[in-house]
Every structure is written in structure tokens, then in C-alpha cells.
Structure 1
Amino acid sequence: MGLDTFSLQNKLALITGGGTGIGLGIAKAFISANAQVIITGRREEVLKKAVEELGDNANYIVNDISDKSNIPELISHIEHRFGVIDILVNNAGVHLKKWAQDTSDNDFENVINTNLLSVFSLTRECARKMIERKQGAIILISSMTALFGMDRVVAYGTSKTALTGLMNNLVTEYSKHHVRINAIAPGWIESDMLHKALDVDKQRKDKIVNRIAMNHFGQPEDIGNTAIFLASNASKYITGVTIPVDGGAKINF
């Protein structure tokens, strides 16, 4: 096995929420592995800037993943314009930091709609094509909150925990068609969103850093490199797993 096993040459990847943060880190990694990348998101100026940074092998489509009615048309448009989708990365999501008692039904439903229901809809539509072709790789971006409890993220944590159940059940149906589905559970990864959340809450930030065995935050490329592995032939016999990329936070005391 050589490095070419990790190559994504001649592969087309769709990455939702690919304009910033972890999604952009995955896009950069896939480009480095010679994939063609399509990123989506709601803000065209952000996507345009990202594609300028990514180069000629990247394109963008403005799309709000929470509007599930547009998903079949999105997939048809991409495959007609750019070619078949070989890799799907379900990265787009929304966060909500509220105590459970302050979380309204509407708050909860909005998070579940974007982080779970839309993920299922997009996965189903992409998989429909992948099943016909008897190949495909699907990656779900989960979270530490799917592995252990945290306060003030009841809706977000529930949505990410549910992705594990979604993955487990889809494995039983997709595997015989050679469509693999796996998840990455990022730890605390450097981003504007992370600092916005933690820089105003020193106690929470200190608690998090003390939990990380490697004693520092991760980088978007750490998630990107793991995504290359799960999207490539290097993991061709791996399906139904969640890989924590967390500097040891899951198991550290």
C-alpha cells in the first residue's frame, strides 16, 4: 500500500458548509488529495472567497441545507453540471448554547431539522445515485457531544448523538451496495466560532483545555486528513465507525 491509496484523484466531493472552519479544512485536504470539490453554504461572499483560496478544482453552490425541499434539485444540478458525486461530507450544522430549561420547542426543532433531518435527506438523495453505481463514501461530522454529556448544548448534543443511530442503521442497508458511511467526532478545533464561544467564558475554556490530553486545540486540517482517510481506498473495508479527532479528550481524566 502506497500513498496513492489515499488519493482522491478523479473523485468529486460535495461538502456542505464548506466555506469556513472545519468544512473549509476538509475542502483544502481533499484538494491536496487531487479531488474535485463542490462546497455549499448560505453566504455567497464566503463561498466565493473560499473557492478563490482553494483554486481551480473547487466550485461553490449557494444553498441552505435546512430547506429539505431543494435537496433533490441540488443533487441533480451538481451531477448534471460537474459529474457524479463520489463523496458526501455532511458538515453543515447549527449550534445552540442554552440551558435545557431555556431551550424552547422551536429552538430544539430548528437544530434537529438542520443537524439531523437535513443530513438524512441529503444522504438519502446522494446514496440513491451511489447505490446505482455500487460505490460511494459518506462522512458525517459528529461532535464530542455525541460521546459524552455537556451542559448548555442539549439540542445540539442530541442532534449529533442521533447521527450515530442514523449511521448504524444506514450501514445495514448501504453496505451491500458498496456505499460506506462513517463519522468524525471533532474535538475542540481552532476557528472563529470556537473563540467567539470560549473567549467570553474563561471557566468553560479552562475546563475544556484541562480535559484535552494533548493540552491544546486541534486544527481544521486534522479533521481534513481524517476525512481523506475515510473517503479514500485506504479505508475501503471500514464502515459504521465514529473516529474521535480530539487530542484524547474523550478518554482523558
Structure 2
Amino acid sequence: MNSSEFPGIFSLKGELAVVTGGGTGIGQAIAQAMHAAGARVVLVGRREAELAAAVKTMGEGAAYAVHDITETAGTGALVQRITQEHGSITCLVNNAGRHLKKAAVDTTPQEFLDVINTHIIGAHELTRLVAPGMIERKHGSIIFTASMASLFGIPLVVAYASAKSAMLGMVRTLSTELSSHGIRVNAIAPGWIDTDMSRKAFAGDPARKNKIISRTPMAKLGDVSDVGWAAVYLASPAAKFVTGAVLPVDGGASMGF
């Protein structure tokens, strides 16, 4: 090892990253960080205006495709379109999600299923269709956005917590199936991050924010870029021997009190 390897060991030059839920929040931050690290990026999401605005901030080497990943009948066409227009997908970030804050006894089967369809079924279908190309090229990185709800109990989010916990099972199984083909599969578990969504959740509820800060050893919320740069690391050659891992980016919250 010598200094000439740095910072190139963290470079994503030559990679094509597809980021679902890439128009806002953590997904946008991941796309921006990967783009800054040299990757070309394609943002996938349901809302074109948000996707277009996010791509505009990045400029050349960034594009978007409008698609709802729960519409699995159209996922094959999405992958084909991206491949034809931009080339082979070498990095997939399964970040798209759906949140539901509701007591377990009040959560209906359909509400539960809607959350599972986004985090698990939609992500699996996209992964299933992208993986063969990665296998053929013996090169690829797949990253899932997990959650603190994957690691410990949080009230009023039974569907979300179940989906994020199932996601970790998918990460571990995929890593055992795909790693011998040169494809690494990992997850990031963000803690409480300062996003538009979290600001809305905290609005008018200072006690909730104070509770979160008090149980976070670093005593602050994270920045979306903290997650973005963690994703760059996992996708880069620096993490070439890292697979099946869950990386908390949480200011120490998962360590407990």
C-alpha cells in the first residue's frame, strides 16, 4: 500500500449507478456523492419534477428514468431502457421506500402489503433483473438502504420495521449467492438524518427530537451526505472485500444508551 493509491481507491470512475428514490433526501445524496466520485448516475423515481431538479444540480453524467418500482411488470423495460441509453449497470442502490406511522393493531393488511411491495418485492425484482448482467461481467455492487428499524424496536412502524428487517435477510442471502460472481451486496442503516421528511416529523414535536438526540451518542442528527459517502465507500474498490455487511451511519445510536 502506498500514497499513490489514494484517493483513487475510492473512485467510481467508469461505474454506472442506478439509484431508486433518487430525487430527494438520502437517495439524492447518494446519487450526488457517487456522481462526485466519478460515476455516471441514473435516478429512478415516481415524480419527474423532483428527478429532473436533482439531475440539474449534478449536470453532465446524470440522468433520470420515471418508474414506480412496485409496478414490477414494467421493471424489465426500465432496465432495458437504462442499459440501451446509458450502458451496463454496475451499481444498484435500492433506496426507494414507503413509510407508515401507525399502531400495529390499526395497520391493515393492505397497508402492510404496500410497504412490503416497495421495500422488498420492488427491490428484489429490480435486483433480479440487474444481477444477470453483473454476473456476466463478473463485476457489480448492490446496496440497500436499511434503517435503525432493522436493528431494534421502534414503536408505531410495524410494517416499515418488518420490511427493513426482511431487507437484511435479503442482503445476506444475495451476498452468499452473488459474491462468488464478483458482485458485492451490502446495506447502510441510517440513523436519524436531517431531511425534509424528518423536519416535518419533528415540527411541533420538540420532545420527540430531544429524545432522539438524547439517545444518540454524538448528540446530533446526521447529514444526508454522511450516508452518501458511506455508499461511495461500499461501491468503491476500497470495499472490495466487504460483502453481506450492514453499515450503521447513526452517530452511535445503534449502540444503545
Identify the TM-score tier after normalising by the shorter chain: over 0.9
Give the alignment partner of residue 60 of structure 2, picking from 56, 59, 77: 56
Mapped to 1, the partners of 2:72 and 2:215 lie a distance apart of: 37
Mapped to 2, the partners of 1:75 and 1:227 lie a distance apart of: 21
Mapped to 1, the partners of 2:176 and 2:119 lie a distance apart of: 22
Residue of structure 1 equivalent to 2:24? 20
Is 2:223 the counterpart of 1:219?
yes
For residue 64 of structure 2, give the secondary structure of its aligned residue in structure 1.
strand
Mapped to 2, the partners of 1:128 and 1:41 lie a distance apart of: 22
Is 2:102 the counterpart of 1:107?
no
> Is the 1:199–1:205 contact (alpha carbons within 8 Å) kept by the matching residues of 2?
no
Residue of structure 1 equivalent to 2:251? 247
Superposition deviation, residue 204 in structure 1: 2.2
Is 2:192 the counterpart of 1:192?
no
Aligned pairs for 1:231-246 within 5 A: 231-246=235-250
Mapped to 1, the partners of 2:115 and 2:64 lie a distance apart of: 24
Give the alignment partner of residue 168 of structure 1, picking from 167, 172, 179: 172
Runs of at least 5 residues in structure 1 that lack an aligned partner in the other structure: none
The one-letter code of the counterpart of 1:141 is T
Mapped to 1, the partners of 2:143 and 2:204 lie a distance apart of: 32
Q: For structure 1, which segment, 124-133 or 201-210, has the greater mean C-alpha deviation from structure 2 after superposition? A: 201-210
For residue 167 of structure 1, give the secondary structure of its aligned residue in structure 2.
helix
The one-letter code of the counterpart of 1:225 is W
The one-letter code of the counterpart of 2:126 is L
Residue of structure 1 equivalent to 2:130? 126
Mapped to 1, the partners of 2:33 and 2:104 lie a distance apart of: 36
The one-letter code of the counterpart of 1:94 is R
Is 2:108 the counterpart of 1:98?
no
Mapped to 1, the partners of 2:204 and 2:161 lie a distance apart of: 21
Mapped to 1, the partners of 2:28 and 2:95 lie a distance apart of: 10
Instruction: Percent identity, please.
Output: 48
Mapped to 2, the partners of 1:83 and 1:207 lie a distance apart of: 46
Superposition deviation, residue 79 in structure 1: 0.6
For residue 46 of structure 1, give the secondary structure of its aligned residue in structure 2.
helix
Deviation per residue, 1:155-186 (Å, 9 max, x gap): 00100000111111111210110111000000
Mapped to 2, the partners of 1:169 and 1:192 lie a distance apart of: 33
The one-letter code of the counterpart of 2:27 is G
Aligned-residue CA RMSD (Å): 0.9
The one-letter code of the counterpart of 1:68 is T
> Is the 1:142–1:160 contact (alpha carbons within 8 Å) kept by the matching residues of 2?
yes
Superposition deviation, residue 203 in structure 1: 2.8
Superposition deviation, residue 209 in structure 1: 1.2
Aligned pairs for 1:118-157 within 5 A: 118-157=122-161
